[in-house]
Amino acid sequence: MPVICVGGMIGIGKTSVAELIAKELGSEVFYESVEDNPILPLFYTASPDEIQAKRYPFLLQLYFLQTRFASIKEAYKKGDNVLDRSIYEDWYFAKVNHDLGRISSLEMQVYEGLLNEMMREIDGLPYRKAPDLMVYLKADFETVLHRIGLRGRDFEQDESLVAYYRTLWSGYDDWVHKHYSASEVLVIDMQHTDVVNNPEDAARVVQEVRDVLTEARLRA
């Protein structure tokens, strides 16, 4: 039974797509830890001085790393699940914050050491070692900002965050095509896809996922 990761920019619609796929395949969604995340609002609202003093970006990446590690092990053990972002994607966020000077080189070294140990454990799991598919959601930057606004989380709305969002967005394709190699990748253009309000779009996305999974099984 397949394990599918749904990835992409903040606010682009990962949860809606993950829930759609899980419902159609009769599987469970492992959600990204956001609503119960004690560090995320601090990360978004802290001043540059507070970020330097409190090290919120580093703490946030450690928190996400731990929760995503737990989620992917459980998803792999059950063997038929959808992950709303996964541990494979976590490194990209850490790298961006390192490049922006929010995570120090020493912190990045510690983070990558922990990540590498976790990935070695995942590679040694007896029941599964990788997802069957990553569904990568992409759109132009204006669409991403619009959807972040529609989501309405107060701590995500400050104008000062736009530059951060643009930096994340500008390198996402490069991460997918040059750094992600755990599974097949299905790209969904979310600029022209609305799985919540358009049943035809929802049906198309589900069929595309089924087609890729079928092709992968035939090649195996």
Active site residue 90: no
Q: What's the whole-number mean pLDDT along residues 142-153?
A: 84
Question: pLDDT band at residue 22, thresholds of 50, 70 and 90?
Answer: very high
Dist CA 131 CA 117 (whole Å): 18
Which residue is catalytic, options 49, 84, 154, 174?
84
The amino acid occupying position 125 is L
Q: What pLDDT shows up at residue 126?
A: 87
Q: What pLDDT shows up at residue 152?
A: 64
Mean pLDDT (the chain) is 91
Q: What pLDDT shows up at residue 215?
A: 85
207 SS3 class: helix
- Residues of the chain with pLDDT > 70, as a percent, come to 98
Dist CA 179 CA 163 (whole Å): 23
Entry pTM: 0.91
Question: pLDDT band at residue 53, thresholds of 50, 70 and 90?
Answer: confident
In whole angstroms, how far apart are CA 100 and each of 106, 142, 143, 163? 14, 22, 24, 11
Position 220 pLDDT exceeds 70: no
Q: What's the whole-number mean pLDDT along residues 181-201?
A: 94
Question: pLDDT band at residue 36, thresholds of 50, 70 and 90?
Answer: confident
Residue 130: CB atoms within 10 Å = 16
The class (CATH top level) of 3-219 is: alpha beta
For residue 15 the two structure tokens come to: 């949860």
Q: What's the whole-number mean pLDDT along residues 85-93?
A: 94
Domain locations in the chain? 3-219
In order, the DSSP letters of 11-52 are: TSSHHHHHHHHHHHHT-EEE--S-TT-SSHHHHHH--HHHHH
Q: What pLDDT shows up at residue 4?
A: 95
